Amino acid sequence: MLARVNPGPYTAVSPEEPSRSEVNFSMFSLKNKQNAGAVGSGYTVVERVGVGSGEWDTLVQGAPGGGHLLQSHAWGEMKRNAGWRPLRLALVRGGGGGGGAGEVAGAGQFLLRPTWPVPGYLMYCPKGPWLEWDDEGAARAFLRGAAEAAARLGAHTLKIEPEVREGRGGQKALLEELGFRKFRWDLNGKATMVVDLSRPEEDLLAGMKGKTRYNVRLSARKGVRVAEDGSPAAEEAFWRMHKETVERQEFWSRPYSYYRAALRAMREAGRAHLFFAEHEGDRLAAVLVYTFGHKCLYMLGATSREKRNLMPASLLQWEVMRWAKGRGLTHYDMWGIPTPEKRNEDHPLYGVYKFKAGFGGEVEDFVGSLDLPIERVRAGLWDKTEPTYYRIYQRLKGDVYY
């Protein structure tokens, strides 16, 4: 059976220097000899039960790659309120599998949801898991352990979104060998743009496209100023501006009840920051960013119709990057751009892509959402049923269920 363990001691992780943690674990037992051999070769997969937010987030931040906001404890609890049940698994190297100390070698927060009318559950790991993907033994051990947990909990499908880059043939081949196949949709940004904030400010400016750098300096010269404001009044102003932007640009948007719930959860966790670009008392642009470990995630943005010639959005992004850099963050994720085959002027988000590209970030294109059938009959039924379920849910709720 799946061994559940209570939280153990953790070493604090700073944003600049995430580290692996030494903890006590019990063995995650597996059904068949092949899986037992994979996990037994120096690795153990365990569920962390009753773990607090600080302890779990420290564990994820200390995993290879530093984790993602959607793997944070607060995000999991926010999704619990939306009908998902979090399951938090850790991969441990050493410790003998019998409760001894071991080194955390990976982590994944999974979310389980019933898949009516198909009996059973979907077990989904948004923007994860976080593993040393070049270590084949570690990847095999964790994914087989996760599949075993899914089977024991009645999940017919295991869905992951690892930040494994396209072009990493060996890692993709391993995922295919283990039975993972591409899902029909990518749920949380298959491609993104990341700015490396570890560089000096002058290098960041020099790395921008010339027009973006000109717009940043123009906006500052014209008297635009950037300020953080997390007051209730500021939040309401942001939602009004965001709604105006969505309607003007004809962007798709989730219901504001969802965005508000996420902002409330992230603010309570100390991860949400709201910034405005202002000129002579007028708020011209706004961004909402979330932080996790050494990363800053640009989640939502908005602009006013007024004074667009002052280029407030360009200065706003630059000043938020400077703010994040000043806090020791090194990774500014601009959260979502079109995939390479859609990166052209016909795509509705091409203008957003061009704006983000102006800041000189590196394009990261990941493998996207992958599914592993755990129980093939029900997984096949769900795969056929899911598009209809998706459409009905969206029509009834005005939202997507993921």
CB count in 10 Å sphere of residue 18: 19
* pLDDT given at position 96: 53
**How does pLDDT run across 361-390, given as a tens digit for each residue?**
999 999 999 999 999 999 999 999 999 999
Please, what sign has the CA dihedral across residues 370, 374, 377, 381?
Answer: negative
| Cβ-based neighbours of 364, under 8 Å, separated by 6 or more | 163, 165, 191, 192, 193, 194
**Cα–Cα–Cα angle for 357, 335, 267, rounded to 5 degrees:** 135
| Integer CA distances (angstroms), 73 to 61, 67, 78, 240, 273, in order | 11, 12, 9, 29, 18
The full set of domain ranges for the chain reads 4-189+366-397, 192-365
**Percent of the chain, pLDDT > 70?**
88
For Cα atoms 347, 348, 354, give the angle at the middle one, nearest 5 degrees: 80
Give mean pLDDT, residues 29-58. Answer: 70
For residues 171 and 64, give the distance between their C-alpha atoms in angstroms, rounded to a whole number: 15
Phi, psi (5° rounding) for residue 237? -65, -40
Helix (H/G/I), strand (E/B), else coil: 178: coil
Record the pTM: 0.89
CA–CA gap between residue 355 and residue 222 (Å, rounded): 20
**Nearest by Cα to 162 from 195, 193, 139, 179:** 139
Contact 293, 321 (CB under 8 A): no
Cα–Cα distance, 129 to 64 (Å, whole number): 10
Does the domain made of 192-365 have the CATH classification 3.40.630.30? yes
DSSP 318-382: HHHHHHHHHTT--EEE------GGG-STTSTTHHHHHHHHTTTPEEEEB---EEEESSHHHHHHH
Find out whether 226 and 320 touch, Cβ atoms under 8 Å.
yes
Please enumerate, as own/partner, the contacts of 98-103 that have beta carbons within 8 Å and a separation of 24 or more: 98/26, 98/27, 99/24, 99/25, 99/26, 100/24, 101/22, 101/23, 101/24, 102/22, 102/23, 102/24, 102/25, 102/44, 103/20, 103/21, 103/22
* pLDDT interval class at 95 (50, 70, 90): low
CATH topology of domain 4-189+366-397: Aminopeptidase (3.40.630)
Same fold, 4-189+366-397 and 192-365: yes
CA Rg value for the chain: 22
Tokens of 191: 């491609």
Which pLDDT does position 94 carry in this prediction?
83
SS3 (DSSP) at 208:
coil
Helix (H, G, I), strand (E, B) or coil at 314: helix
Cα 18 from Cα 63, distance rounded (Å): 8
Q: Tens digit of pLDDT for each residue in 218-272? A: 999 999 999 999 999 999 999 999 999 999 999 989 999 999 999 999 999 999 9
Q: Which of 188-192, 209-213, 298-302, 364-368 has the lowest mean pLDDT?
A: 188-192
pLDDT tens string 67-83: 999 999 999 999 999 99
Structural tokens at position 195? 């700015």
- Nearest-CA neighbor of 194 among 312, 368, 314, 321? 321
Which residue in 173, 96, 85, 167 sits closest to 124, CA to CA? Answer: 85
